[in-house]
Amino acid sequence: MRIAVTGGAGYIGSHTCTLLLAAGHDVLIIDNFNNSKSDVLDRIEKVAGVRPRINQTDITQADALSAVFSDYRPDAVLHFAGLKAVGEAVENPLEYYRVNVGGSVSLFQAMENVGCNKIVFSSSATVYGDPDQVPIVENHPLRPTNPYGQSKRYVEKILEDWGQANSNLAAVNLRYFNPFGAHPTALLGENPQGIPNNLMPYVAQVATGQAAELLVFGDDYDTPDGTGVRDYIHVMDLAAAHLKALDLTVRKAGVKAINVGTGNGYSVMQMINAFKRASNREIPYRVVDRRPGDIAECVADPSFAFELLGWKSELGLERMCADAWSYQNSLK
Ligand code: NAD
Ligand code: WQD
């Protein structure tokens, strides 16, 4: 198939592109390199043996995007492009809605113009907000607590509405839990610019000595050791879920939301210890107050993904930490 991959130069998109190319798909990455670098294309090529096409377009530029679609005429779209920092979204909600919602609408319009009706969208477990119970099932109420999460919810809703109007639309909203890890070759991984927002990239920087200590945000949650519990998923497992979701769009029209997690929850302390084992380094930490807006626990019920896609996670915590550590060392 001819697959347009928005945000394909980013962390999750680049890993997914390696699998798409290896499966024989023709891949066009559409990325403005706002949060990635063009050398990722060489790395994808090294891993997959094939170089993806690239078009450096901003998804919010509707006319330019439509021109790319008229030229490439994709069979399907994987839509990763967007902004993803929760704190930044709280400070600048309009920019998050402009890029994440406005950019998505431009994209859907460009798809409609060329009769492309298959899409897999990068949603997030953040659409659930503070869950009533864990593990979380897809029909749990959606109550995102910040503009980033709202932007994901709105895009899901726009796809639902588009699906009501167009019975040929096949859309899969993949609700990722907490992606972590790197490509086993250490050629691809997550290399955030500046101070990392998320726990594990920060832990990796403490392990190398780039950051002095980790701040643990609260140890008084109602969890076994008091620290926050999350469902960390290996980025290669997540990438594999996209190929299964793409298969579903070929088999069936309709709009579906699917959790992509492992079903296993680990606390901040468990993650620190797992990374200590993988890196054989000390991870100094200090417990501080809770981070505003954080929740105690967020763990997927991944059974719908297995039922509908035949997908389940295969790579465990040790592998996530080992691959992330190899990648971190490769950056030196
Ligand atoms: P990332 O920042 O590494 O990748 C996003 C890519 O999109 C980058 O290459 C960036 O340059 C590109 N981009 C941003 N704005 C663009 C624009 N206007 N036009 C074209 N390209 C643009 O992020 P990621 O971690 O790979 O996340 C991919 C998607 O998954 C995002 O939509 C994110 O919201 C979602 N998601 C991520 C996580 C996570 O923890 N990483 C969790 C849940 C959902
Ligand atoms: C995990 C745990 C923190 C940093 C966020 C977004 C979510 C999704 C994934 C995109 C929590 C604790 C963290 C630190 C810490 N992104 N922590 N010290 O909050 O589950 O989800 O990223 O969709 O939308 O909200 O992930 O990695 O930030 O935090 O103690 O320096 O680690 O309190 O318990 P989170 P995270």
Quote the ligand 2 centre to 291 CA distance (angstroms): 9
- Region 22-39: mean pLDDT is 98
Q: 73, 59, 70, 68: which is closest to 155 by C-alpha?
A: 59
| Strand ranges (E), the chain | 2-6, 26-30, 53-55, 76-79, 118-124, 170-176, 178-180, 214-217, 229-230, 232-234, 254-260, 266-267, 285-288, 297-298
Q: Which ligand is nearest to the CA of 4?
A: 1
Rounded-to-integer distance, Cα 4 and Cα 159, Å: 17
Let me know how many helices (H) and strands (E) the chain has, helices first. 12, 14
- Region 33-44: mean pLDDT is 97
pLDDT digit string (tens) for 55-79?
Answer: 999 999 999 999 999 999 999 999 9
Quote the ligand 1 centre to 169 CA distance (angstroms): 23
Is 148 one of the catalytic residues?
yes
Catalytic residue among 148, 154, 176, 202: 148
pLDDT digit string (tens) for 293-324?
Answer: 999 999 999 999 999 999 999 999 999 999 99
Per-residue pLDDT at 87: 94
- Region 103-111: mean pLDDT is 98
The first and second tokens of residue 48, run together, are 């997959």
- Region 99-105: mean pLDDT is 98
Per-residue pLDDT at 274: 98
Per-residue pLDDT at 194: 87
Domains and CATH numbers, the chain: 2-181+231-261 (3.40.50.720)
Quote the ligand 2 centre to 177 CA distance (angstroms): 10
Report how far apart, in Å, the C-alpha atoms of 321 and of each of 45, 180, 267, 270, 287 are. Answer: 24, 8, 14, 12, 22
Per-residue pLDDT at 132: 98
Per-residue pLDDT at 241: 99
User: For the chain, what is the mean pLDDT?
Assistant: 98
- Region 217-231: mean pLDDT is 98
> 286 falls in which pLDDT band (50, 70, 90)?
very high
Rounded-to-integer distance, Cα 34 and Cα 80, Å: 13
Percent of the chain whose predicted confidence (pLDDT) is above 90: 98
Q: Whose CA is nearest to atom 44 of ligand 1?
A: 124
How do beta strands 76-79 and 53-55 pair?
A: unpaired
Per-residue pLDDT at 271: 98
Q: Is the pLDDT of residue 133 over 90?
A: yes
Percent of the chain whose predicted confidence (pLDDT) is above 70: 100
Query: pTM (2 decimals)?
Result: 0.98
Q: Is the pLDDT of residue 332 over 90?
A: no
Per-residue pLDDT at 193: 86
Q: Is the pLDDT of residue 53 over 90?
A: yes
Q: What is the DSSP letter of 136?
A: B
Pocket test for ligand 1, best of 17, 35, 190 (most atoms within 8 A of CB): 35
Sole residue written with tokens 């409609």: 112
| Contacts of 306 by beta carbon, 8 Å cutoff, 6+ apart | 312
Pocket test for ligand 1, best of 31, 65, 107, 127 (most atoms within 8 A of CB): 31
- Region 35-42: mean pLDDT is 97
Contact 49, 23 (CB under 8 A): no
> 289 falls in which pLDDT band (50, 70, 90)?
very high
